[in-house]
Structure 1
Amino acid sequence: MSKLHIEYVRNAIDERYTDLLDMSDLPRSTSAQGRQQAFLSRGIAALAVQHEHQIGPRAAAACVFDGADDRGLDAISVEFSAPQPRICLVQAKWSDAGKGPFDEEAVHKLFRGLDLLFDRAYSKFNSRFQSLVPTLQQAFDLSLPKVTIVLALMRTAPLNSNVRELLEEKIAEQNQVDEIVDYKVLDLRDFHRAILGDAAAPKIDATVRLDGFVQESTPYKALYGTMTVPDLADLYGEHRRGLFARNIRDSLDLTDVNVKIQNTLLEQPEHFWYFSNGITMLCETIKPVGRVVPGRGGDFKLTGISVVNGAQTVSALHRAFVKDPDTAEIGRVMVRLISLENCPEGFGDQVTTTTNTQNPIEERDFKSLDQGQIQLRDDFPLLLHRSYVIKRGERPPDERHGCSMAEAAEALAAVHPNAQLAAVAKRDQNLAGLWEDSVYDQVFGKTPNVYRVWRSVELLRAVREELKALRDGLLWRADATASHGDLLVTHIVFRRLNTTAIESPDFDWSGELAKVPQLVQDTFAWVLRAIDDEYGTSSHIIAAVRNAERMQRVVRAAMRGLDSGSTAPVLQDDYQVAGTEQRGRQVNAVVTLIAAGRIPEGTELEFRPFSRPERREMTDWLAATPDRARAIWSNVNGNRNPLRWAVDGKWYSPSGLTRKMRAEASGVVTSAQGTVRWFVPDQGSLEELAYEVRQNEGTDTETGPTEQ
Structure 2
Amino acid sequence: MSKIHVTQVKRVLDELYSQLIETDTNKNEQDQKSIFYTRSLAAYTVKMLSNATNLESVDSVTDGYGDNGIDFIHIDNESKRLIIGQSKWTHEGQKSPELGDILKFIKGFNELINGDYDNFNKKITGLSNEIEGLVSDSQCKLVAVIVYSGVQPISKEIKKELDDLKGDYNDVSELLDYKVVDLKKIYQSIPYVGQGLPINANLFINNYGKIEEPYTGLYGRVDASEIYNLYHEFGEFLFEKNLRKFITDSNINESVQTTLVESPENFWYFNNGITVLCNKLNGAPKGANSKSGTFALEGINIVNGAQTVGNIFRAKERGADISKASVMIKVISLDECEDDIFADEITKSTNSQNRILSKDFITLDNIHKRLYKEIKLFNYKYLYKTGDVHDSNESSFSFEAAAISLACADENIRFAMLAKTSVGKLWDDINKPPYSILFNSKTTGLRVLRSVRISSLVDKELEKIGWLHGKLPQHSNRFMLHMVFCYLPKNKFDDPDFQFNFYEDSISKNFRSFFTSIKQQMDILYPAAHIYHFFRNGSKCTHLKNVVLKTIQNPFHTD
Is the pair's TM-score, using the shorter chain for normalization, greater than 0.5? yes
Partner of 1:484: 475
Partner of 2:419: 425
Amino acid at match of 1:12: L
Per the TM alignment, residue 411 of structure 1 is displaced from its structure 2 partner at its CA by 1.0
In the alignment, is the contact (CA less than 8 A) between 1:523 and 1:558 conserved in 2?
no
Amino acid at match of 1:353: K
Is 1:15 the counterpart of 2:19? The answer is yes
Q: 3-state DSSP class of the match of 2:118?
A: helix
1:45 to 25, 28, 42: 42
2:270 to 266, 275, 300: 275
Q: 3-state DSSP class of the match of 2:469?
A: coil
Is 1:411 the counterpart of 2:413? The answer is no
Q: 1:433 to 1:109 in 2, by over 3 A?
A: farther
2:181 to 179, 185, 191: 185
Unaligned runs of 5+ in 2: none
CA–CA distance in 2 between the matches of 1:384 and 1:290? 73
In the alignment, is the contact (CA less than 8 A) between 1:423 and 1:546 conserved in 2?
yes
Per the TM alignment, residue 255 of structure 1 is displaced from its structure 2 partner at its CA by 4.0
1:342 to 309, 331, 336: 336
Per the TM alignment, residue 464 of structure 1 is displaced from its structure 2 partner at its CA by 1.7
Is 1:495 the counterpart of 2:491? The answer is no
Per the TM alignment, residue 298 of structure 1 is displaced from its structure 2 partner at its CA by 3.5
| Matched pairs, number | 544
Partner of 1:371: 366
Q: 1:73 to 1:448 in 2, by over 3 A?
A: same
Aligned positions of 1:321-400 closer than 5 A: 321-324=316-319, 327-346=321-340, 347-380=342-375, 382-398=376-392
Partner of 2:260: 265
Unaligned runs of 5+ in 1: 566-708
Q: 1:299 to 1:313 in 2, by over 3 A?
A: same
CA–CA distance in 1 between the matches of 2:421 and 2:230? 34
Select between 483-492 and 254-263 the one with higher mean Cα deviation.
Answer: 254-263
Per the TM alignment, residue 60 of structure 1 is displaced from its structure 2 partner at its CA by 4.9
CA–CA distance in 2 between the matches of 1:148 and 1:399? 43
Per the TM alignment, residue 412 of structure 1 is displaced from its structure 2 partner at its CA by 1.4
CA–CA distance in 1 between the matches of 2:482 and 2:6? 61
Q: 3-state DSSP class of the match of 2:206?
A: strand
In the alignment, is the contact (CA less than 8 A) between 1:216 and 1:223 conserved in 2?
yes
Is 1:70 the counterpart of 2:67? The answer is yes
In the alignment, is the contact (CA less than 8 A) between 1:265 and 1:320 conserved in 2?
yes
Q: 1:193 to 1:505 in 2, by over 3 A?
A: farther
Partner of 1:79: 76
Q: 3-state DSSP class of the match of 1:406?
A: helix
Is 1:108 the counterpart of 2:112? The answer is no
1:511 to 469, 487, 502: 502
Per the TM alignment, residue 409 of structure 1 is displaced from its structure 2 partner at its CA by 1.0
CA–CA distance in 2 between the matches of 1:260 and 1:116? 34
Is 1:285 the counterpart of 2:289? The answer is no
Partner of 1:449: 444
Amino acid at match of 2:511: V
2:553 to 558, 563, 568: 563
In the alignment, is the contact (CA less than 8 A) between 1:107 and 1:163 conserved in 2?
no
Per the TM alignment, residue 8 of structure 1 is displaced from its structure 2 partner at its CA by 4.3
Per the TM alignment, residue 214 of structure 1 is displaced from its structure 2 partner at its CA by 2.9
Partner of 1:578: none
In the alignment, is the contact (CA less than 8 A) between 1:425 and 1:433 conserved in 2?
no
**1:398-437 Cα distance to aligned partner (Å, 9 max, x none):** 5973111111111111112333321232231545556542
In the alignment, is the contact (CA less than 8 A) between 1:246 and 1:352 conserved in 2?
yes
Q: 3-state DSSP class of the match of 1:289?
A: coil
Q: Report the structure number with the largest CA radius of gyration.
A: 1
Per the TM alignment, residue 352 of structure 1 is displaced from its structure 2 partner at its CA by 2.8
How big is the alpha-carbon RMSD for the aligned residues of Structure 1 and Structure 2? 3.5
CA–CA distance in 2 between the matches of 1:196 and 1:548? 42
Per the TM alignment, residue 123 of structure 1 is displaced from its structure 2 partner at its CA by 1.3
Select between 99-108 and 111-120 the one with higher mean Cα deviation.
Answer: 99-108
1:251 to 243, 246, 263: 246
**1:117-139 Cα distance to aligned partner (Å, 9 max, x none):** 24332212233322111122222
Per the TM alignment, residue 499 of structure 1 is displaced from its structure 2 partner at its CA by 4.6
In the alignment, is the contact (CA less than 8 A) between 1:224 and 1:335 conserved in 2?
yes
Aligned positions of 1:159-174 closer than 5 A: 159-162=153-156, 165-166=159-160, 168-174=162-168
Per the TM alignment, residue 265 of structure 1 is displaced from its structure 2 partner at its CA by 1.0
CA–CA distance in 1 between the matches of 2:447 and 2:554? 29
CA–CA distance in 1 between the matches of 2:163 and 2:444? 48
CA–CA distance in 2 between the matches of 1:204 and 1:56? 22
Partner of 1:146: 141
Q: 3-state DSSP class of the match of 1:260?
A: helix
Per the TM alignment, residue 111 of structure 1 is displaced from its structure 2 partner at its CA by 0.9
CA–CA distance in 1 between the matches of 2:392 and 2:57? 37
Is 1:91 the counterpart of 2:91? The answer is no
Select between 101-110 and 360-369 the one with higher mean Cα deviation.
Answer: 101-110
Name the % identity: 24
Partner of 1:638: none
CA–CA distance in 1 between the matches of 2:87 and 2:393? 46
Amino acid at match of 1:110: F
Per the TM alignment, residue 38 of structure 1 is displaced from its structure 2 partner at its CA by 3.8
Amino acid at match of 2:179: Y
1:236 to 231, 241, 245: 231
In the alignment, is the contact (CA less than 8 A) between 2:372 and 2:445 conserved in 1?
no
Is 1:200 the counterpart of 2:200? The answer is no
Amino acid at match of 2:404: E
Aligned positions of 1:313-328 closer than 5 A: 313-324=308-319, 327-328=321-322
Partner of 2:212: 217
CA–CA distance in 2 between the matches of 1:270 and 1:533? 55
**1:601-647 Cα distance to aligned partner (Å, 9 max, x none):** xxxxxxxxxxxxxxxxxxxxxxxxxxxxxxxxxxxxxxxxxxxxxxx
Amino acid at match of 1:72: G
Per the TM alignment, residue 489 of structure 1 is displaced from its structure 2 partner at its CA by 1.5
Select between 128-137 and 418-427 the one with higher mean Cα deviation.
Answer: 418-427
Q: 1:232 to 1:31 in 2, by over 3 A?
A: closer
Per the TM alignment, residue 457 of structure 1 is displaced from its structure 2 partner at its CA by 1.5
Partner of 1:524: 515
In the alignment, is the contact (CA less than 8 A) between 1:424 and 1:548 conserved in 2?
no
Q: 1:194 to 1:235 in 2, by over 3 A?
A: closer
**1:142-183 Cα distance to aligned partner (Å, 9 max, x none):** 337322123344x36354455763564444443561432312
Per the TM alignment, residue 50 of structure 1 is displaced from its structure 2 partner at its CA by 4.5
Q: 3-state DSSP class of the match of 1:445?
A: coil
CA–CA distance in 1 between the matches of 2:286 and 2:424? 49
Is 1:554 the counterpart of 2:558? The answer is no
CA–CA distance in 2 between the matches of 1:532 and 1:263? 42
CA–CA distance in 1 between the matches of 2:409 and 2:166? 32
Per the TM alignment, residue 514 of structure 1 is displaced from its structure 2 partner at its CA by 1.5
Q: 3-state DSSP class of the match of 1:345?
A: coil
TM-score by length of 1: 0.68
Q: 3-state DSSP class of the match of 2:401?
A: helix
CA–CA distance in 2 between the matches of 1:529 and 1:457? 27
